[in-house]
Amino acid sequence: MDTTIPPGAAYAHAATRIDLLPPDDSQRVVLHDEVHARPPARIRLPALVVYVAVANDGISREDEWAHLCALPGQRDLPLAALNNNFLRLRLSGFTLKWERHTEFTRYSLVQPLPAHAGLGSTEPVLFPDIAVPVEWLRGIPGRVLAAIELALISGALDHVAHTLAQAKTWFGGHPVVASLIGWGESSLLVTDLRLRETGFERMLVVCPPGTSETRVGRIAARLVEIETYRIMALRGLPVAKALAPMLLQSERALADITAQLDAKTTDDQQLLDTLVAEAARIERAIAEHAYRFSATRAYHDLVRQRLTELREQPIPGTQTLGEFMQRRLSPAIATVAATAERLASLSERIARTSALLRTRVDIVREAQNQLLLAKLTRGQELQLRLQSTVEGLSIAAISYYVVSLLLYLGKALKGVGVPLNPELAAGAMIPLVWWAVRRTTRRIHKKLHAASGARPPA
């Protein structure tokens, strides 16, 4: 039975809505209907849930739509039906649910449990009785992340030990984890978390008589989500292991750079270049893998939340699913978290070392700049002295030239009969000529400095 609430159900009669409120925010209906986006199925016992989660990187919505259209009677399925990332199809004898998430897409097929696969059977073969063609199942776009055959049956739980022994037979005698889940009328959860030749792992839930279809649907949803989120959380582990050698190398390189910085045995610029190269490598690793590490934390939180929602009660002598996950999953998550912390810590340490090295380089450069400025100042002083010397010589040369002209003028006047001693007159004019030339030169300098805004020399 389909319990999907259509989007915008609150405004199903929007045309006749009474305007008692201001206009809606553009996102109100979408955000309101998010709580109804992926409703759990209602499952009638006994049932078999065939669940497949695939990575959808590089797989478009159109690819998945084309695959859904290949199901019997779905040739006319509109692409718009997939817009909400959730679709439940009612087909002959089974129900198929499609859900697209950020990194993966889930296909959940719910069908009656084959008669030969009930409690007490010995590791029953299930894949020949799957309601969809094997070719369709094999052709799902993407790469498999999780595949589960979940059997849900009704049975009395008055003698849990006896029922658990039958469940172990159902799993072929393999070691299992088991627990009672839920409050009140608890159900029995059993799984061995083993991949079989078919690529599926198996779970078995025995529900007491009278368990509602809605509760069974919630149990099924939580179990497949736990396994999916567990796999997604563990995707950060290979990345963390691959980064370990690089992190160790970078930490050693940073320690070596710090030692050289303290010993002052290497050129600062060379150290700075090496440090910049290490910083670039670490920042690249952070940019490439930060999302994976944060996703690991988020998926791990979801696993713990779903385990809490199961409300497991231990069965004497048997490990619960939560305990198994805690012992097996926690070290992997701790490794990922430690790697993320090492990356962040290494980035901060490199930044501090870079700041220290840059400070030292800046101090050396400042000293060099001061030395260069002092040399420039001394050069300017010498240039000014030379300029003053040249200026004095120029005044003397001009004065000599003017006095020579006056001497020639005196001789010319004497030649025309003017009673004048040219040499005596020229000698008497020397102080006046020198003063006039010097004053004129100073006035020219003042005008030039006033035009350039510079302070004239004293």
- Distance of alpha carbon 372 from alpha carbon 375, whole angstroms: 5
Quote the pLDDT of residue 278: 84
Quote the pLDDT of residue 1: 37
Quote the pLDDT of residue 8: 46
Q: Is 53 left (phi over 0), alpha (psi -120 to 50) or beta?
A: beta
For 110, the 3-state DSSP assignment is: strand
Candidates 49, 198, 86; CA nearest to 134 is: 198
Full strand arrangement of the beta sheet holding 94-100: 86-91, 94-100, 104-112, 47-55, 143-154, 201-207, 187-191, 177-181
- Distance of alpha carbon 264 from alpha carbon 127, whole angstroms: 71
Quote the pLDDT of residue 83: 86
Q: Give the type of residue at 162.
A: H
pTM score: 0.74
Quote the pLDDT of residue 7: 47
Instruction: Flag residues of the chain having pLDDT under 50.
Output: 1-15
Q: Which two tokens stand for residue 175?
A: 């070691």
Tell the burial category of 423 from Cβ atoms under 10 Å away from its Cβ (0-12, 13-18, 19+). exposed
Angle at alpha carbon of residue 386, lines to 384 and 368, rounded to 5°: 55
CA dihedral 328, 333, 334, 338 (to 10 degrees): 150
- Distance of alpha carbon 51 from alpha carbon 96, whole angstroms: 10
Residue spans of alpha helices (H) in 123-263: 134-138, 160-170, 213-234, 236-263
- Tallying the residues shown for the chain, one arrives at 458
pLDDT in tens, 31-54: 777 666 667 788 999 999 999 999
pLDDT in tens, 412-453: 877 777 787 877 877 888 888 778 877 887 787 777 767 766
Quote the pLDDT of residue 388: 67
Handedness of CA 101, 104, 109, 114 (dihedral sign): negative
Handedness of CA 36, 40, 44, 48 (dihedral sign): positive
Quote the pLDDT of residue 37: 66
Angle at alpha carbon of residue 373, lines to 367 and 375, rounded to 5°: 105
Range 254-259, long-range pairs (CB < 8 A, 24+ positions): 254/278, 254/346, 254/349, 254/350, 254/353, 257/353, 258/353
Q: Are 48 and 126 in contact (CB under 8 A)?
A: yes
Quote the pLDDT of residue 401: 80
